[in-house]
């Protein structure tokens, strides 16, 4: 049963919806019931009291008549009897009074004709028979009937019958009851109204205030406090309510504040994310570019070439097609680089790259292997087609290049190898192209197709190059370490990393044999990085084991001319926990002398990385004192050719002495390499040499052999080098 809003009945208003209504209704009902009950009780008791007084009066009247009537009866004085009746008649409520003789005759009688019963009987009776009338009236319950026997000296004379009407008394009682009921009702209503007013004023008003406040809260209006002044529970509730609102208000403002902060933070984060994403995208593009492209010419790099070669090989195998790789190397590039400077060399490479790209078909692939070496992959092309391409490139290289102020021409050598004829794997094809490129240098045409039987000497030497390329990836290379000892403290202060190649068929190949060869090709680059990475990894192991030494790494001339080298080295050093100061780089004097001005700049950059730099093989490169002063180096390493024989050769001893003195004058540390015996050690100590390195202390050994020496004998207790350092061998 749903009702529309606003369609409230009085019951709803008074009872269901109103607390005051409920309270007042309840009170009114209770009071009303109590008053009603008391009125009824009152009425009952009054009625019975009146009735009993009527009865008493009737009794008294009867006794009185019985006492006075014998005399009149005996004397038949009916007048007297009538008089009695008349007297009785004066009494209120008497309906009838009759004296009936023992014979049954009505001797005297009184009938109240005003009484409705009597009047009714009189009407019904045709004759005036008092006895019959009285008998009939006796049936009426509203009338009290009494009979009193009249005796004279134990003789019954008759009976006195009297009837008294209870009606008047009943009516009076009822009237009183009604009056009382009316008064009670009025009083109860007044009381109810009074209670309602008081309740509404003192109890409901604060409750309504609370209701309104709660409504305001539900709408989010928290500014207006509840104003209840009373000290009772409602006042307390009001105060608690206000506290609650305050709390709510403050927590809402705290929440708003926090929300604002979160929003600001969010916005900031979003902006940062956008910014970072843009940066990352740019960086990614750059990295992709760097990873796949040569930073100088923008051509695909070695990695990319290898990748493309793999794909082309797979496709050609699948389609049973052929393809050709041309390896190209600029003639006299080293010369140009050395005479005109590194920048000119770079510019030339960029120009060559541009011309190559312009001259080839879109399907042809061209990349820079490194240095002045380029690789061209020609899909579905045999050696004849490749020769034409080589000639075409020769043509486009003919016009002179304008680099700096100068114009000059440059030629190139091309090595051609075809799949599947000259190799069925990428490394075999590259190796064949590499060999062909070397043989091409001796040909007038400037290009050559790979021919395994063309030259008996070169192929061996050149195939070694191909094998070295493989060795770098196949883990045939190993680093050995040779200790360096401080002569004053007799302590091992460092080790030099020296590369070893253990060829699976040819056995051990000394570095002096393959390093210069690698330096002639692009292989020196991956080789150098392999050495640096391995040395750093080993150093990290020692460093983590608590071994504090300096690890020296040999740099080749090529490293110094590699434009990426310093950045790449910095990156590799950044990746290790070992501090940069714990690394030393050895650069030969001859490498410095090849292009002193340029190398000084490179060494400056090396110095900026906080690594040490030593001049290796010192004494063989004819450097001047003025140049030495300019070089940002920390140490000189006297070449072993002077040291080995100094015990027997006084000239060598004199040279060693002057190098030591000069080093100290320049504030440089000096180290002697190739120390093979105690006598030389003794002499070097006397000459004030700072450090020594040589077979006398230890041959270069694998890391696992040098580690226990470094762990156990970090220094020699007895400072006499001739005896004690010997123990380290």
CB 501 within 8 A of CB 350: no
- The nearer residue to Ca ion, 562 or 616, going by C-beta atoms, is 616
C-beta of 692: minimal distance to Ca ion in Å? 13
**Distance of alpha carbon 727 from alpha carbon 696, whole angstroms:** 9
**Distance of alpha carbon 346 from alpha carbon 51, whole angstroms:** 146
**Closest C-alpha to 424, from 324, 304, 313:** 313
Which of these segments, 65-73, 377-385, 584-592, 643-651, binds Ca ion (CB under 5 A)?
584-592
Residue with the CB atom nearest Ca ion in the bound state: 586
- Please report whether residue 645 would count as binding ligand C2E according to CB under 6 A: no
C-beta of 713: minimal distance to Ca ion in Å? 23
CB 132 within 8 A of CB 118: no
User: Count of residues binding ligand C2E (CB under 6 A)?
Assistant: 22
C-beta of 486: minimal distance to ligand C2E in Å? 17
Q: Which of 554, 556, 559, 691 binds Ca ion (CB under 5 A)?
A: 554
What's the sign of the alpha-carbon dihedral 121, 124, 126, 132?
Answer: negative
Which of these segments, 154-162, 245-253, 408-416, 579-587, binds Ca ion (CB under 5 A)?
579-587
Total count of residues recorded for the chain = 729
Q: Which of 112, 372, 373, 617 binds ligand C2E (CB under 6 A)?
A: 617
- The nearer residue to ligand C2E, 165 or 673, going by C-beta atoms, is 673
Q: Which of 165, 467, 595, 616 binds ligand C2E (CB under 6 A)?
A: 616
Q: Which option in ligand C2E, Ca ion, none does residue 556 bind, with CB closer than 5 to 8 A by kind?
A: ligand C2E
Task: Restricting to residues 463-502, name those near ligand C2E by CB under 6 A.
Answer: 482, 497-499
Q: Which of 613, 674, 685, 721 binds ligand C2E (CB under 6 A)?
A: 674
Q: Which of 82, 338, 364, 676 binds ligand C2E (CB under 6 A)?
A: 676
**Distance of alpha carbon 349 from alpha carbon 368, whole angstroms:** 9
Phi then psi dihedrals of residue 18, to 5 deg: -125, 125
CB 670 within 8 A of CB 658: no
What would the 3-class secondary structure string for 9-73 be? Answer: CHHHHHHHCCHHHHHHHHHHHHHHHHHHHHHHHHHHHHHHHHHHHHHHHHHHHHHHHHHHHHHHH
Task: Restricting to residues 434-453, name those near ligand C2E by CB under 6 A.
Answer: none
C-beta of 494: minimal distance to Ca ion in Å? 12
Q: Which option in ligand C2E, Ca ion, none does residue 206 bind, with CB closer than 5 to 8 A by kind?
A: none
- Please report whether residue 587 would count as binding ligand C2E according to CB under 6 A: no
C-beta of 519: minimal distance to Ca ion in Å? 14
Q: Which option in ligand C2E, Ca ion, none does residue 486 bind, with CB closer than 5 to 8 A by kind?
A: none
**Distance of alpha carbon 712 from alpha carbon 703, whole angstroms:** 14
Q: Which option in ligand C2E, Ca ion, none does residue 694 bind, with CB closer than 5 to 8 A by kind?
A: ligand C2E
- Please report whether residue 589 would count as binding Ca ion according to CB under 5 A: no
- Please report whether residue 529 would count as binding ligand C2E according to CB under 6 A: no
Which residues in 17-137 belong to E strands, given as ranges? Answer: 94-101, 106-111
C-beta of 643: minimal distance to ligand C2E in Å? 8
C-beta of 696: minimal distance to Ca ion in Å? 16
Q: Which of 554, 612, 663, 691 binds ligand C2E (CB under 6 A)?
A: 554
Is residue 341 classed exposed, middle or buried when 0-12, 13-18 and 19+ CB atoms within 10 A define those classes? middle
**Distance of alpha carbon 653 from alpha carbon 696, whole angstroms:** 18
Q: Are strands 550-555 and 583-588 parallel, antiparallel or unpaired?
A: parallel
- Please report whether residue 717 would count as binding ligand C2E according to CB under 6 A: no
SS3 category, 414: strand
User: What CA–CA distances, in Å, run from 72 to 75, 76, 152, 488, 543?
Assistant: 5, 6, 11, 178, 160
Is residue 105 classed exposed, middle or buried when 0-12, 13-18 and 19+ CB atoms within 10 A define those classes? exposed
Which residues touch 264 (CB under 8 Å, ≥6 apart)? Answer: none
Which residues touch 648 (CB under 8 Å, ≥6 apart)? Answer: none
Q: Which of 54, 378, 386, 531 binds ligand C2E (CB under 6 A)?
A: 531
CB burial readout 635-653, b (16+ within 10 A) else e:
bbbbbbebbbbbbeeeebb
- Please report whether residue 165 would count as binding Ca ion according to CB under 5 A: no
- The nearer residue to Ca ion, 294 or 586, going by C-beta atoms, is 586
| Contacting residues toward Ca ion, per CB under 5 A | 554, 586, 616-617
Q: Where do contacts with ligand C2E occur on this chain (CB under 6 A)? A: 482, 497-499, 510-512, 515, 531, 554, 556, 586, 616-617, 640, 673-676, 694-695, 700
């Amino acid at each position: 049963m749903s009702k529309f809003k606003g369609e409230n009945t009085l019951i709803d208003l008074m009872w269901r919806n109103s607390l005051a209504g409920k309270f007042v209704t309840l009170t009114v009902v209770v009071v009303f019931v109590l008053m009603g009950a008391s009125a009824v009780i009152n009425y009952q008791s009054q009625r019975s009291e009146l009735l009993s007084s009527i009865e008493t009066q009737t009794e008294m009247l009867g006794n009185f008549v019985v006492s006075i009537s014998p005399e009149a009866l005996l004397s038949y004085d009916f007048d007297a009897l009538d008089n009695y009746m008349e007297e009785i008649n004066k009494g209120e409520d008497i309906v009838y009074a009759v004296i009936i003789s023992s014979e049954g005759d009505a001797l005297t009688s009184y009938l109240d004709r005003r009484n409705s019963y009597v009047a009714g009987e009189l009407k019904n009776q045709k004759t005036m028979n008092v006895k019959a009338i009285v008998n009939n009236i006796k049936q009426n319950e509203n009338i009290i009937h009494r009979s009193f026997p009249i005796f004279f000296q134990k003789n019954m004379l008759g009976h006195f019958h009297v009837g008294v009407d209870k009606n008047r008394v009943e009516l009076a009682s009822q009237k009183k009851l009604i009056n009382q009921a009316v008064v009670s009702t009025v009083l109860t209503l007044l009381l109810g109204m009074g209670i309602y007013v008081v309740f509404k004023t003192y109890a409901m008003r604060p409750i309504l205030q609370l209701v309104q406040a709660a409504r305001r809260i539900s709408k989010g209006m928290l500014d207006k406090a509840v104003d209840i002044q009373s000290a009772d529970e409602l006042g307390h509730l009001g105060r608690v309510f206000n506290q609650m609102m305050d709390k709510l208000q403050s927590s809402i403002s705290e929440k708003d504040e926090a929300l604002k902060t979160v929003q600001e933070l969010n916005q900031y984060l979003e902006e940062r994310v956008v910014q970072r994403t843009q940066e990352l995208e740019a960086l990614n593009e750059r990295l992709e570019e760097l990873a796949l492209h040569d930073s100088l010419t923008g051509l695909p790099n070695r990695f990319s070439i290898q990748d493309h070669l793999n794909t082309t090989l797979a496709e050609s195998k699948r389609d049973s097609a052929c393809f050709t790789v041309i390896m190209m190397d600029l003639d006299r590039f080293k010369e140009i680089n050395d005479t005109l400077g590194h920048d000119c060399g770079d510019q030339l490479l960029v120009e060559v790259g541009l011309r190559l790209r312009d001259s080839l078909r879109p399907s042809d692939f061209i990349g820079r292997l490194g240095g002045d070496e380029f690789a061209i992959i020609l899909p579905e092309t045999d050696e004849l087609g490749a020769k034409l391409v080589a000639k075409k490139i020769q043509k486009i290289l003919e016009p002179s290049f304008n680099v700096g102020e100068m114009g000059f021409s440059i030629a190139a050598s091309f090595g051609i190898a075809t799949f599947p004829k000259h190799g069925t794997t990428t490394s075999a094809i590259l190796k064949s192209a590499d060999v062909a490129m070397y043989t091409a240098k001796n040909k007038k045409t400037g290009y050559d197709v790979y021919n395994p039987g063309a030259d008996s000497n070169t192929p061996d030497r050149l195939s070694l190059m191909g094998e070295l390329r493989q060795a770098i990836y196949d883990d045939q290379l190993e680093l050995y370490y040779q200790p360096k000892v401080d002569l004053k403290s007799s302590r091992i202060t460092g080790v030099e990393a020296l590369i070893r190649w253990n060829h699976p068929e040819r056995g051990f190949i000394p570095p002096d044999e393959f390093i210069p060869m690698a330096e002639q090709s692009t292989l020196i680059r991956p080789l150098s990085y392999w050495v640096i990475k391995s040395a750093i990894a080993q150093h990290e192991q020692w460093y983590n084991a608590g071994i504090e030494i300096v690890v020296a790494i040999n740099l080749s001339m090529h490293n110094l001319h590699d434009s990426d080298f310093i950045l790449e080295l910095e990156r590799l050093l950044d990746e290790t926990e070992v501090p940069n100061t714990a690394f030393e780089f050895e650069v030969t004097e001859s490498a410095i002398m090849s292009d002193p001005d340029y190398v000084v700049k490179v060494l400056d950059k090396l110095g900026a990385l906080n690594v040490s730099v030593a001049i290796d093989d010192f004494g063989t490169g004819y450097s001047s004192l003025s140049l030495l002063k300019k070089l940002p180096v920390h140490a000189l390493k006297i070449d072993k050719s002077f040291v080995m024989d100094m015990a027997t050769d006084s000239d060598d001893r004199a040279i060693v002495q002057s190098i030591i003195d000069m080093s100290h004058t320049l504030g440089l540390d000096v180290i002697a390499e190739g120390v093979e015996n105690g006598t030389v050690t003794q002499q070097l100590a006397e000459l004030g040499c700072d450090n020594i390195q040589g077979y006398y202390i230890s041959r270069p050994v694998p890391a696992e052999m040098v580690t226990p020496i470094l762990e156990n004998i970090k220094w020699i207790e007895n400072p006499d080098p001739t005896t004690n350092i010997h123990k380290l061998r």
